[in-house]
Amino acid sequence: MTSIIGLSSAFPKHKVFQEDVKALGRKLFASKTNFKKMEKVYDNSGVKVRYLTNDLNWYMNQHNWSERNYLFKKNAISLLKKSISETFEKSNIRPEDIGGIVLINSTGISTPTIDAEIFNLFNFNNQVLRLPFFGYGCSGGVLGLNRAVEIYKNIKKPVLVCNVELCSLTFRPQIFSKENIVSSSLFGDGSISYIVKEDGNCKILNSMEYTWKNSLNLMGWGVEDDGLSVIFDKIIPEFITKKLPQVVNKFPLKDLDGYVLHSGGMKIIDAYKKIFNNDQTIEVSQKILSDYGNVSSVSVLLVLKEMIKKKSTGIFLMTALGPGFTAGMTGLKICSDD
Band of pLDDT at residue 31, cut at 50, 70 and 90: confident
pLDDT at 162 over 70: yes
Look at residue 205 and give its three-state secondary structure.
strand
- Asked whether the domain spanning 202-334 has the same topology as the one spanning 2-198, the reply is yes
Domain ranges of the chain: 2-198, 202-334
Q: How far is CA 34 from CA 26, 171, 203, in A?
A: 12, 19, 49
- Fold (topology level) of 2-198: Peroxisomal Thiolase; Chain A, domain 1 (3.40.47)
Over residues 168-195, the mean pLDDT reads 89
Task: Tell me the pTM.
Answer: 0.94
Q: What is the average per-residue pLDDT within 24-52? A: 87
Is residue 328's pLDDT more than 60? yes
Whether the upstream peptide bond of residue 245 has omega within 30° of 0, thus cis, is: no
**pLDDT of the residue at 183:** 85
* Superfamily the domain 202-334 falls into: Thiolase/Chalcone synthase (3.40.47.10)
Q: Does 33 score more than 80 pLDDT?
A: no
- Reported as a single tens digit per residue, the pLDDT across 265-316 is 899 999 999 999 999 999 999 999 999 999 999 999 999 999 999 999 999 9
Task: Give pLDDT tens digits for 111-134.
Answer: 899 999 999 999 999 999 999 999
Of the ranges 13-27, 39-53, 126-140, 210-224, which one carries the lowest mean pLDDT score? Answer: 210-224
The residues near 144 (Cβ < 8 Å, ≥ 6 apart) are: 102, 104, 133, 136, 161, 163, 297
Sign of CA dihedral 232, 233, 234, 239: negative
How high is the mean pLDDT of the chain?
Answer: 92
User: In the predicted model, what is the mean pLDDT of residues 135-162?
Assistant: 95
pLDDT, average across residues 219-246: 85
| Chain center to CA of 24 | 24
Rounded to an integer, what distance in angstroms lies between the CA atom of residue 193 and that of residue 5?
A: 9
pLDDT of 338: 55
